[in-house]
Structure 1
Amino acid sequence: MADEDVAPEQGELAITRTGDRLRLAREAAGLSLADVATRTRITQRHLAAIEKSDYSELPGRTYVTGFARAYARAVDLPEAEVGAAIRQELDEDAYGSRPLYEAYEPTDPARLPTARLTWTLVIVTLLLASAYGVWRFLSVEPDEALIAAQNRDADASEAPQNDAAATPATKTGSQAAVAANAPVVLTGLSEVWIGFDDATGKTENWRTLDAGETYQVPPEYVEQFTLRTSIPQALKVTVGGRDVGSIGAADTLVKNVSLKPADLVARAEGSGAANATAPIAGPRPKG
């Protein structure tokens, strides 16, 4: 009979963990969990985890033991004994294999872009960049086919002013000396394409001038190349700061424009003389 009375008590003690022991001591002392939290300065969430022996809720092994000892002091239990019991339970639960607590907050995976979305954005960006590059190239710099078509059109119908420009006007010696040393500068009045042709008429080099952009023709270009453009009204040509005027009719291809300062100055003087001597139409006599 005595054995039957002892066995249930031993069985109850055998299944009672340290957390249960702390909870029973708190209830016996008439304390609430909030009272223990005030005494120990430990959050109620952590104290409740200790009572449930759910140590995974606590930051780490050292915290589990320290919190349990503080709880024991608050409810008048031997803290050394409680601490030893907690360490034993941790070992039995293989708690030591748990990764170390990391103090930083991990990023919420739900807020990170998926791999598919990331690759989609990369592909769209590349396509937009490629499309812009193609548009810029086609709208600014003509290809070889366009240059060849312009050459054929110019050969079929040369503008009269180009023939006049081929024969330089008579210049004084001082004018020629000043013009020979003057820099030749091209200025874009709006976006304009310019090309430089060699002696055979083949365009070897070309570039685009933006509105307001200036380009001083290198001396070797002056000697070796002639100028061409398909928008002459958008190009201003100066020799030593002197505007030589328009080099062709608007929106027509002009080429074989000599870049030598003397020829450009003669071109300006020839254009001025032509404008000054142009006949003015008057009323027809009545007959």
Structure 2
Amino acid sequence: MAEEEGAPQGELAITRTGDRLRLAREAAGLSLADIATRTRITQRHLLAIEKSEFSELPGRTYVTGFARAYARAVDLPEAEIGTEIRRELEEDQYGARPLYEAYEPTDPARLPTARLTWTLVVVALILVSAYGVWRFLSVEPDEALIAAQNRDADASEAPSATAPATKAGTATGQAAIAANAPVVLTGISEVWIGFDDATGKTENWRTLDAGETYEVPPAYIEQFTLRTSIPQALKVTVGGRDIGAVGPADTLVKGVSLKPADLVARAEGNGAPGSTPAAAPLPKR
């Protein structure tokens, strides 16, 4: 009887989605390292999700995406987990707002002085300006921003013009790279990367820390294209050869072919089929 009464109390204690994910992982006998291997998400980010410490993650979109990937790894409904995470984010944002305390109009002693009022106004203006600058410089896209970027990128895709004449020496440069040359992605600073299927849907994603390298599996090279929102933070090499930036700085870039020949063509300025990505500039905020 004691055990039966204890179960509901344990269930009531699970008030956060992170607790639910952690219990599912423990019930499956999996460690955080196991989940990191399955999802390609760093253990520190997974631990932050379990503890519901969302401020430790790069941005709102990452919180939802990482939680859905975690849910798939432990056989929980990812759509439901995504909805719960968004609700918790909204609750945390609302709970962080300062409570308003009204002054008693009949008590002059509690009314702020004119100097204090102007000081508060100046401080508020400074904080608003600082926040505006931070939002303008921030490149972490949320869900609505990513959707807008995708629409802009799709709208900017136009029928390709006549291919330019082949430059002398280009064929020689491509021949120097084997068709199965390794494609390696290196984070210059922390950068988010995704792999899109033929329909443009992002099937896999991960975060590279500064200095971290990731060799793209041969199956990914054939089946997926690359996307990233911080091209200047990502270094791409083919057979040890640096191909340069995959797009303009602070721009959502997608549809980047991972085939060695296409990447070499990008480096040599040859618009080979499948090598030209769609890019959408990040809106000023």
TM bin, normalised by shorter chain, reads 0.3 to 0.5
Structure exhibiting the larger radius of gyration computed from Cα positions: 1
Higher RCO (CA-CA < 8 Å; seq separation 6+)? 2
Which protein is richer in helix relative to its size? 1
